[in-house]
Structure 1
Amino acid sequence: MPHYLQAVAASPWVLALVFVVAGLDALLPFMPSESTVVACGVAAASTGRPNLALLVAAASAGAYLGDQASFRIGRRSTGSVEARLSHRRAQALHAWVHRLLHSRGGLVIVFARYLPGGRSTTALAAGVVGYPAARFGWYTAVGVVVWAIESALIGYFGGRVFEGHPILGFLLAGAVALGVSGLAVLIQHVASPAAEEERESVSAP
């Protein structure tokens, strides 16, 4: 691994960067949180730094606090959102989201983060429809830990496969991570007709 990459990987500021990026991703969906964790996992495979356990902890903590912030913003917006629900379709959509989260909230909160924009949208929507804060916190904790472990290990094993060639390791790890997201999108696409039918049944007069 090039010396400058070793220096970056060994810096204690790397974990701070992971923490901040993972947190901001809940509010700014274009933040490369997964890519950052994957890249650090690749570096850990070659240099032993950052420590893999600390990497998972930093990514989990940042993502958890970011999701909580998005949830709180949604919770504070509940009154203003409900005041604007004058249109029947808007009311039906709100009712459908409320029903979906209260019946399948655990699955949605844990796995929606693998969909583009799914993490921030779900956290915000959960706050708006009044999803129980304690339950949201528990499911979010499970979701962020699973996500952080998966991303760090994808990077680590990619780095191990191409040890000495971190760019190739990152490309392999990125392809695997992209494949996981693609699988999540495929599952959503397969499930969307049933979800749409359910939403339509709620909006029907």
Structure 2
Amino acid sequence: MSEVLDLFGSSWFFIAALLAVLSDAFLPIVPSGTMVIAATLQASETHTSPVLLGVGVAIASFTGDLLLLRIARRGAAWAQRRLDRKPGAAGAAAYLLEALETRRARTIVAARFVPGGRSVLDLAVGTTATPPRRFLRWSAVSAAVWAAYIVGLGYLNEHTFDTSWLSFAVSCVAATTISAVIARMVQRQRRNAREAATAAADADDHLTTAPVAVS
């Protein structure tokens, strides 16, 4: 119980970091990862358990998904308009929904690491009539994975470097690099899927329009 009081009473920054993680589902521009890294470094200075911080981050992350998903399901038209307003978001949503059919776990976890991917995925799932139980199950897993990753990154660098500012800088650069690599991989998979679909459509058109030999 004392650790809980330390976590939320030692500094306002812990609460701000958790709120940033929760609101990141609605506003992808919020630097939630950066704030969690800073909170991890602060936790070390106040002797707060990083595990407890990670649990809080995971809960906040999953709660944000749950809230956005429910809002999207109650206002599917609004969710679709929001996707249509963003360049490329509608196409990304369609790709994610298709990927969920064959690669559910990997798609949900990867979307958590891609900037804006979490919001697009939540909105996309909210516009469908499919029951969200299986999605929420893996959403909880991905929230725990991301929380362990981002808190662990700050904790590892804090114990590697002597100064807090260097630990913070290296952690942020590492998190940005990893997100960029995962985003590039997702974009490549999406491009390959689009090219395969185009090739299949061209093959079908060729078969349909091919002349029939008359004996």
How would you bin the TM-score normalised by the shorter chain? 0.7 to 0.9
Q: Is the 8 A contact 1:158 1:169 kept in 2?
A: yes
Matched, 1:48 2:47: yes
Aligned to 1:184: 182
1:192: Cα distance to partner? Answer: 2.5
Kept in 1, the 8 Å contact 2:79–2:123? The answer is no
Any gaps of 5 or more consecutive residues in structure 2?
Answer: 1-5, 81-89, 206-215
- 2:113–2:179 Cα contact (<8 Å) kept: yes
Partner of 1:111: 110
Once the two structures are TM-superposed, the CA of residue 157 in structure 1 deviates from its matched residue by 1.2
Task: Map residues 1-205 of structure 1 onto 2, 5 A cutoff.
Answer: 11=10, 13-49=12-48, 51-78=49-76, 98-163=97-162, 165-197=163-195, 200=198
Distance of 1:80 and 1:20 partners within structure 2 = 24
Whole-Å separation in 1 of the counterparts to 2:60 and 2:18: 4
Paired AA for residue 129 in structure 1:
T
1:143-172 Cα offsets, whole Å, 9 max, x none, are 000001100011111111223x11111001
Distance (Å, rounded) in 2 between the aligned partners of 1:59 and 1:80: 28
**Post-superposition offset of 1:17:** 2.0
Hey, what's the Cα distance between the residues in 1 that align with 2:72 and 2:196? 24
Give the Cα separation in 2 of the matches to 1:81 and 1:118.
Answer: 15
C-alpha spacing 1:198/1:72, structure 2 compared with 1 (3 Å): farther
Structure 1: tracts of 5 or more residues without a match: 1-6, 83-91
- Relative to structure 2, which stretch is displaced further, 136-145 or 178-187? 178-187
Query: Partners in 1 of 2:114 and 2:17 — Cα distance?
Result: 20
Superposed CA RMSD in Å reads 3.1
Partners of 2:53 and 2:133 in 1: how far apart? Answer: 26
Matching residue's letter, 1:157: L
Secondary structure (helix, strand or coil) at the match of 1:121 reads helix
Larger Rg: 2
Measured in 2, the distance between the counterparts of 1:171 and 1:192 equals 31
Alpha-carbon distance between aligned partners in 1 of 2:53 and 2:77, rounded to the nearest angstrom: 38
Greater relative contact order structure (CA < 8 Å, 6+ sep): 1
Question: Would you say the 8 A contact 1:9–1:40 is kept in 2?
Answer: no
Q: Kindly state the Cα deviation for residue 61 of structure 1 after the two structures are TM-superposed.
A: 0.9
Displacement of 1:201 in angstroms is 7.1
By how many angstroms is 1:197 displaced? 2.8
TM-score scaled to structure 2, two decimals?
Answer: 0.75
| Pairs aligned (count) | 189
Q: Percent identity?
A: 28
Which amino acid letter does the alignment assign opposite residue 75 of structure 2?
S
Pairwise CA distance, 1:100: 2.8
Deviation at 1:131, TM superposition (A): 3.8
Which residue type is aligned with residue 54 of structure 1?
Answer: L
Preserved contact between residue 79 and residue 127 of structure 2 (Cα < 8 Å)? yes
Structure 1 residue 37 displacement after superposition: 1.0
Report the equivalent of 1:4: none
